[in-house]
Structure 1
Amino acid sequence: MIATIRMLAYGVSANFIDEYLRIGETTAIKSFKKFVKVVVSFFSEEYLRSPNNNDIARLLVVGQHREFPRMLGSIDCMHWKWKNCPSKWKGQYISHTRDPTIILEIVASYDLWIWHAFFGLPRSHNDINVLEQSSVFYELAEGCAAPVNYSINGNDYSMGYYLGNGIYPSWATFIRTIPAPQDRKRQHFASAQEVARKDVERAFGVLQARFAIMSGPARFFHLESLKDIMMACIILHNMIVEDEQHTYLGANDFDYDQIDDNGPEPVSHNPTCNLMQFIESHNSIRDRGIHSQLQADLVEHLWQLQGQL
């Protein structure tokens, strides 16, 4: 256990701790692999879960307080260098850089809890390719996600949204910044969006600081082992966040009664059986018209709040 934790926290190789702990290199590696597999097996259901009703209620209240009504978090990708990538795979794991890397996509909230993690695609993919293969919107498309009904600037919406950078598509479930804002309204919106979206960047930084194995090059040869290591680090990170949640901004400072409705309705865990309903949900997620309207309403909403200060 001590050898495994040291390898995760300090990013050292197995032969670095053989004399310190009197454990052979082979034994340390074997224990390390078993540890991460057990962590993923036993704790994934709780610490890699999608937001439940209580989680969504809290996220929505915090989003309202931060001037982005019904915001569920921020989404982005990072790359983990793969030192021992097999030679036959290097072509697909290298793009404009010289080193092969593996992509991690996460959704993080204000308290740095990671609600979604998708890992394993090669560097040759960009964020959009990763999004097309990830499961971030599976529950929403299948009708299993809790409804998020709200109104902004007189217009009604039925889905929450994530804050993303400029590469993400103009979908109803994403709010991006405005690249070159021309007036004060849009400049204020762009500034507020970029500030709130730093949550996911902070989550990446804290995750790498806590587990130095992620900030250095991956030394294992098998992709499955790297997936177990990544997911185990995220689970342990969420455990720490849960234990220290009282220290994060907004942990105890928000009044849940400020939501106008009665909170999210119960989640239906029965997937949509009707193909037409699935296609309709899928198209609603990718609706560019709703995206443009929501972004315009948020620009007006933030500007009105600015005028009240």
Structure 2
Amino acid sequence: MVRSLFRKILASFSSEDDSDVEIKEAYGHVSNHHEIRQRLKFIRRDHNMGNERLFRDYFAENPVYPSNLFRRRFHMSRPLFLRILREVESFEPYFVQRRDNDGRIGLTSMQKVITTLRMLAYEVTGDFMDEYIRISETTAMESLKKFTETLVSVFSNEYLRSPNANDTIRLLDIAEQQGFLCMLGSIDCMH
């Protein structure tokens, strides 16, 4: 019911979307979504503005958003994020900022990693990050893939290994103190 009401309101306040009009004018009748995607023009995103906004919001000397909001939005502390950023950037050349074939400056490693972390933290799609970070959906998805592969390569020995005897004892002690007996045997307590 709410969805149909929302659609009626949208229909009454807007006519055809500008992008739909441009596509129809430029290409006539287009039969499927795939044809539209192939024919759309390149969108010139101001990557530098997106990077400056991120830096001002979270990493400047006096950031717009304090560290507690950083933790809430990215599900980690700022120092942990910076460690991950350094490791990913040094391991995978994809995350190093470079110029494209036209000589335009590309995305920074910070933009690519923040996009990936926000997609993971908020369970959103790649195109959701475009307006704020200035990154295309395809680049966001490529960043997600490269980031996860790199994270496993860089941190698997330290964090993705099976627990040894000392780890098991420590985890069982913590679980017992918090009232979770047999924690290692329960799938519900492993998240």
Structures share a fold, TM > 0.5?
Answer: no
* TM score, norm. by length of structure 1: 0.22
Question: Relative contact order: is structure 1 or structure 2 higher (C-alpha 8 Å, sep ≥ 6)?
Answer: 1
Higher strand share: 1
Higher helix share: 2
TM-score (ref. length: structure 2): 0.35
